[in-house]
Amino acid sequence: MTEEEQTETTEAQEQQSQPTVSLGLSDLALMANIIQVTSERGAIKANEMQVVGALYTKLVAFVNANAPAPEITSEEATDEESEVEIPEEE
């Protein structure tokens, strides 16, 4: 085995041993919730509120924009259909 092959093998083993890091919508929603709770408890100083509020707004907007649409069950679909008003003919 050449030195180059050993280096490639060692790098491949290191990449496999490192855990996969992921960040999902639920994590971002949790961060927004933590910001909200800490601000309610007074943990954020007045001079930090603008920056923290801007981050909170971005997080909430991103989560809302990327959240999957709620699935409509057949019962909900029936309820929605029954709520539709049909205009009367004159």
Output phi, psi for 2, to 5 deg: -85, 170
Q: Say yes or no to pLDDT of 9 above 60.
A: yes
Give the pair of three-digit tokens for residue 72.
Answer: 């409509």
Q: Round the average pLDDT of the chain to a whole number and report it.
A: 79
Average pLDDT of span 61-86: 70
Q: Say yes or no to pLDDT of 21 above 70.
A: yes
Give the pair of three-digit tokens for residue 28.
Answer: 């971002």
CA distance 5 to 12: 11
Q: Say yes or no to pLDDT of 59 above 70.
A: yes
State the residue for tokens 């929605």: 80
